[in-house]
Structure 1
Amino acid sequence: MAAHNELGKWGEETAVRYLKRKGLYIRHRDWHCGHKDIDIVATDEYGTQVIFVEVKTRSNTLFTEPELAVDREKIANLRSAANAYVKQFRINADLRFDIVTVVGTSDADVVVNHIENAF
């Protein structure tokens, strides 16, 4: 597997651990609807809110902040996938879209930033 794929996989694992520590329940990871995907689908501790999470992982921020990679096209694709998810699982809860950024190359130097209600 390419190094960037390994970094991305590690970033998603890190994000899942972080969200669980915050008390969220992970419903699905890497959920697909055609070519569109949702990195993490979580719920709050009461199940009253479904949270669609986009994870962006970078080894450093020399060129740009990772959350800036979530552009209009990515937001539109995520909303489309979330709509399909809601229909498929008959979700009747509040919805939220978050971004979790993971910067670093190991657990020793990682910085996690959770942007709630990102869009």
Structure 2
Amino acid sequence: MATVLSHDLARAMGEIRPDIVAGNLADTYRGDDARGCSGLLTDRVSWVFVDTVPEDAQGAFADAYGPVAVCHRVAGPDDPTPKGPDTFCRVTPEAIARAASDLIDDGTRATAVNLAVSYLGRRGYRVLERDWVCAAGTVDIVAVDPDGALVLMSIRHRVAPGATDHEQLGTVAVEAEERRAMRKCCLHRLVEEREGGDQPWESTRFDVLGLTFTGGPDVRLRHLVGAVSWDSD
């Protein structure tokens, strides 16, 4: 049976995602023999529990794929409550590190979107949808501002302990390809609402919200209003 110990997983994670660190990751033993490891990995915003020898996951999965490791998001370092289903992967340091990294990224993005929605609500915006999907792509948030304008928003986030306002400015840059995609998404949205008989909007624009998790209780946020114009490339 494959064995992945805490130092194996820490090494693989350091090579794949050096920004993700171990919490209480430790080896597990049967008698004097180390059989694997379990514990927490985090980017300091989201937390994932990893067990490289889950006793209750070895049956059907082991029969089909060989030994498996299990990961799932948890509420925090002091709260083991799962925040989603288990993710199973092969028992190799690289596979476990990638699975944990994906879960952490999903959790941190969800936190960023939740904070963005809270921010918008306090400023009088009405959020219509999250992760709205159309033929041209996905829009993180569709909202209506206090003046009645339809706003399509891109949410950017990063984890940067000790970041300054100047360092955060890069999180709101919009590349040409994304500008074109956002304009197409807007047209799809307007057509969809017209066909559905929804009310027309006073105007339409594209915003970017950049959030930086600085490693403490504060989150730096920058709201770029009108980040993309209809006339830009």
Regarding TM over 0.5, the answer is: yes
Q: Is the 8 A contact 2:132 2:138 kept in 1?
A: yes
What stretches of structure 1 move > 6 A for 4+ residues in a row?
Answer: none
* 2:151 paired with 1:51: yes
Structure 1 length-normalised TM: 0.86
Higher relative contact order (CA 8 A, sep 6+): 1
CA distance in 1, matches of 2:131, 2:138: 6
Q: Is the 8 A contact 1:7 1:105 kept in 2?
A: no
Cα offset for 1:107?
7.8
In structure 1, which of residues 77, 89, 92 is the aligned counterpart of residue 200 of structure 2? Answer: 92
CA distance in 1, matches of 2:216, 2:187: 34
SS at match of 1:74: helix
CA distance in 1, matches of 2:168, 2:142: 29
Q: Is the 8 A contact 2:214 2:220 kept in 1?
A: no
Q: What do you get for the CA RMSD once the two structures are aligned?
A: 2.2
CA distance in 1, matches of 2:215, 2:150: 29
* Residues 44-88 of structure 1, C-alpha deviations (whole Å, 9 max, x = no match): 235x210111100111256972112x2111111111111101100
CA distance in 2, matches of 1:104, 1:23: 24
1:1-119 to 2 correspondences below 5 Å: 2-34=103-135, 36-45=137-146, 48-60=148-160, 65-68=170-173, 70-90=174-194, 92-93=200-201, 94-104=203-213, 108-119=217-228
Q: How many pairs were matched up?
A: 117
